[in-house]
Amino acid sequence: MRFPEKHPVNHELARYGNREEICERLDIEMAEHFDALGPFRFTATMLVYDSGHEFQMVPYDQIVSAVVEMDSGGEPPSTPTIVVRTRSGRRYQWYRTWLQGIFDPEKTLEKIHAVAHLDETDSSTSVPSAV
């Protein structure tokens, strides 16, 4: 409470620019129409992930690749994971679990590709994960 800029949500809002400007833009976009798929919100210019336990946002113009990976942790069954990479090399990954949110990984990936204007050929050349 003494250091609000250190709060994880405020830190995430400041990741891609001025925190106040991003916050205002996100408020406006969330007040308007947005699509929702599980914990994902697709606003006019940002992908927002809000599982209730975690908040992350990525402007579409920063996304360079998005893929679905299957993470088995060494044992079946595999857990589908959405992996998004940004221009700065940042890697976001969201698991389809009850804690992180239940979502259809293929529909979510399709929507990310559409809103971020990623070509199908771009996803096949994405950097493999180091899982």
pTM of the model: 0.79
Q: Is the model's pLDDT at 9 over the cut of 60? A: yes
Domains of the chain are 4-122 (2.30.29.30)
Cα–Cα distance between 120 and 117 in angstroms, integer?
Answer: 10
30: which residues sit within 8 A by CB, 6+ positions away?
41, 43, 48
Q: Is the model's pLDDT at 1 over the cut of 60? A: no
55, β-bridge pairs: 50
Q: Is the model's pLDDT at 129 over the cut of 50? A: no
Span 57-115, pLDDT tens digits: 999 999 999 999 987 666 666 788 999 999 999 999 998 888 888 999 999 999 999 99
**63-71 and 79-86 beta bridge pairing:** antiparallel
